[in-house]
C-alpha cells in the first residue's frame, strides 16, 4: 500500500481492483508518485478495475494532466485494466474536469461515474 498525506493507493483483492483515494491537493512528484505506485500494482497484480475516489480531490495542474494523459494513461491502456470508476458527486467542482478525462478514456476503457464507494466495492 502507498499512503501519504495526499493519496492512498492499494490493491483490493476481493474486487481485483486498484483503489486510489485522493486526500488533498498535490502536484508534481507528489501526484505522479502515487499513480506510479498504482501502475506498479497493476503490473504485479493484474487487476481488471481501477477506482479513483475524488471525494477530497482537486483540480490538476496543467502539467500533471498532460503527464496523466501522455505518460500514465498509455501504461494503463496496455495493462489488464478494463474498467475505470470515478467516485464523484454531481455537484463536485471537479465534475467537468473528470468528464473531460472520461471523454478521452472511454476510447480505451469502460468508464463509470458513481457517487458512493459502496456502489463499487
The 10s digit of each residue's pLDDT in 47-101 is 999 999 999 888 888 999 899 989 999 999 999 999 999 999 988 988 988 888 8
Go through the domains of the chain in sequence order and give each one's CATH number.
2-119 (3.30.750.24)
Alpha-carbon span 12 to 63, nearest angstrom: 29
Residue 84 in contact with residue 109, Cβ under 8 Å? yes
H or E element that contains 64: helix 62-67
How much is the pLDDT for 90? 87
Query: Which of 26-30, 64-68, 117-121 shows the lowest per-residue confidence on average (mean pLDDT)?
Result: 117-121
Give the other-Cβ count within 10 Å of 102's Cβ.
15
Report in angstroms the alpha-carbon separations of 58 from 10, 22, 101.
Answer: 20, 8, 14
How much is the pLDDT for 100? 87
Phi-psi region at 28: left, alpha or beta (left = phi > 0; alpha = psi -120 to 50) = left
Amino acid at each position: 500500500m502507498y499512503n501519504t498525506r495526499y493519496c492512498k493507493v492499494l490493491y483490493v483483492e476481493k474486487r481485483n481492483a486498484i483503489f486510489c483515494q485522493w486526500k488533498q491537493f498535490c502536484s508534481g512528484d507528489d501526484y505522479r508518485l502515487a499513480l506510479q505506485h498504482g501502475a506498479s500494482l497493476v503490473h504485479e497484480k493484474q487487476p481488471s478495475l481501477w477506482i479513483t475516489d475524488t471525494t477530497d480531490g482537486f483540480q490538476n495542474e496543467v502539467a500533471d494532466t498532460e503527464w496523466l494523459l501522455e505518460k500514465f494513461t498509455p501504461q494503463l491502456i496496455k495493462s489488464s485494466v478494463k474498467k475505470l470508476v470515478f467516485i464523484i458527486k454531481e455537484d463536485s467542482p471537479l465534475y467537468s474536469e473528470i468528464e473531460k478525462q472520461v471523454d478521452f478514456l472511454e476510447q480505451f476503457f469502460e468508464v463509470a461515474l458513481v457517487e458512493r464507494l459502496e456502489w463499487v466495492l
